[in-house]
Structure formats: structure tokens, C-alpha cells
Structure 1
């Protein structure tokens, strides 16, 4: 399975510093808890690559599936409830095969799917196994942020959770990564 192209700049303890090539991402914004957003977003994006696009053609699946927390949205306070709550929002993305450009990639028929070009970027990456639950991902994000701060590396964006395996892959065979943009 094709993966996002990168080169390792250096290995530093438990993490790597990487340089990623420019690529395209198909993404959808999902409201709700992490797991629900991940599965819902995966289904919408899978529908797009399986042929719900202007060319009615399949697009090869690549890895990883990337999720990141988007801005939180204030919810309207219900009657009899004084505090406003914030609702979770996540961006779920598929990396598009390198053979495509914005001009040649079939356009999604579903308006909730957007395609955007991601420029070359430097990322810190921390690999971990098992299921990438919200709690496990948050602990790895904290660990990577602390290591980067300890090493004097400046963070330039929000953490992303990258999952490389199909859902039926046993936990002991799973590959996940926390990716954090750097300056």
C-alpha cells in the first residue's frame, strides 16, 4: 500500500524528525466524539475513493488515515442549563496517491469531501502500536510534545493521529503515529 512520501532528517530518542513531500489529501470534517468521527469520516472518504466521484472510478487506498482535532464549536445552551458546552470536531483525511494532481484527481460528488494540497512540511513522528484510542493518542501526543520541548524544537501546528492498518488488524500488529508539524 502506498504511503505518504518522506525522508528521515534525524532520529532523536523515541521519535523521528521527517521531511514530507507535497501531497493531496481528501478530507471531511466530522462533529462528535473521536471514535464516532473517525469511523464516520472513514466511511465518507471510502465512498469517495470507491467511486462516488466525477469520474465514477476507484482511487487506490493509501496510508495513513489521518485525524486531527479541529476547532471546537460552542453548542447552544439548552433551557435549564446555564453553561455552554463545546462540541468536538475532527478532520479525517486520506492521503491521495502520488500519481494525481489537483487537476487529474476525480472530484468528489459528496460536497462534504474536500481535496486540498499539502505543501512540503517537516514533522516530528512518534510511532506506537495497539489501537489508537483517544486516550492512548492523547498520552502519546503529550509524550512527544514534552520530548520536543526538552530538545528545544518549536511546534508549528496541531498534532495528528496517523493510522496505517485496516480495522481488522490485531492490536499487536498495528502501526500508528503521532505527527506534529515543526518549524
Structure 2
């Protein structure tokens, strides 16, 4: 009887271990326990990546602009968005901070070292119906979209993002998702990816960043729609 009970306990412990291991990738970033983040469904968990489906939501972005640095472009774009959420909009309305801040990157395919950037802020749920318009800010609803996602920690730097993009590309190569993702990336500016950052610059612990390859399973759609 004692041996059988020990075996049962071991079986339960092993089951719990595998359950935790399988779900660890899908854990909510710590930031999203404090502030609002867009909801999504995980429709597939792969080796080093997951496929999510995001519902239709409203995002705010400055117009696309060129830069040579992802880090500097994100700072520039977010400064404009920070003014927007602090009340510099047509309603003089303050908007609560959300996460993540998403920087979409379209690298140049020519001799120029500049890339095209779009920095986006998820508009909180309570402002989605009537988001404040503002000069110099594009506020638009995004149609449902899929994302292949890879998580990584530490601070986002210009010299570590490329490795993460390459790792995500390698993870999805040959999968059922690869053709839809490639079609979407070819359809806008070229090889497009997004960097999602969940922490503010002064947080040093529990940092969560993600690389997103956004796509539509039917015909590939761009992330930001005005």
C-alpha cells in the first residue's frame, strides 16, 4: 500500500512538472498583472515560439519614419505617444499606460542603413470605442491578426535583436505557418518584424520582450491600419 501511494505521488509530481513546463512559455508577462495588455489566444506552442491570434483592437501610432537604430526609433516614437497619452490630444484626455509598446521594423533592401519604423501603443479597453484623435498621431483599429512570437529577456539593444529575429525565423522554418508569414512579410515593405517591449526603461528585473512576425492565414495584413 505504501509503495503504491509513493508511485501515485511520483506520478502526480511528474504530471505537474510536465504541465508547468508546457505552459511556461505562455505565462503572462509580469507587467500585464499591473497594467492592461491586449488579450490573445495561443493556438499553437512550438519549439521556442508560439502562434497567437489577436482580436481586433485600437492602436495609436505616429506616422512611419526612418532611422538607423531600433532603440532610438522606439524612444522617438514613444515620446510622441507619451505626449498623446498625457493629454495632448483633441479631447485633452489622459490615457492609462498599457503594454507592450510595439516597434514595427521594415529593414531597407537597398544600400541605405536606414529602416522604416512604426511605434505603436495599445489603446486601453475603456477608450477603444471613442479613442481621442490627435494631430500627428494615427489612431486606427487593427483587424484580427496572427503572430509568431519569440520571447527574450534583458534590455532590447540594436545588437541583440537580429539574433532573436533569426532564431524565430529558424524555429518556424518548414512549419505549417512559414508560408503565410513569408507572404505577409513580402506584401508590405519587405522583411517586416515587430519588437514588443513590456517594461519601462527603469525596470531591471523580470524584463520581457518579444519578436513578432505578424500575418494573416488568408492573405497577410499589415499591423497598423488607419
TM-score by length of 1: 0.85
Structure 2 unaligned regions, length at least 5: 1-34, 186-191, 218-226
Q: How does 1:57-96 map to 2 (within 5 A)?
A: 57-70=93-106, 72=108, 85-96=112-123
Partner Cα separation in structure 2 for residue 88 and residue 159 of structure 1? 11
Per-residue CA shift, 1:126-159, capped at 9, x if unaligned?
1110011122221111111111113242213321
Superposition RMSD on alpha carbons, in Å? 1.9
Which residue of the partner structure matches residue 128 of structure 1? Answer: 152
SS at 2:75's partner residue?
helix
Q: CA deviation at 1:66?
A: 0.2
5 Å-filtered alignment, 1:35-46, equals 35-46=71-82
* Match for residue 124 of structure 2 among 72, 80, 97: 97
How many residues were matched structurally? Answer: 170
Show the counterpart of 1:107. 133
Higher helix share: 2
Aligned to 2:208: 175
Q: TM-score normalized by structure 2? A: 0.70
Separation in 2 of the partners of 1:152 and 1:142?
18
Which protein is bigger by CA-based radius of gyration? 2
The question of whether the paired residues in 2 share the 8 Å contact of 1:24 and 1:95 is answered with: yes
Aligned to 1:50: 86
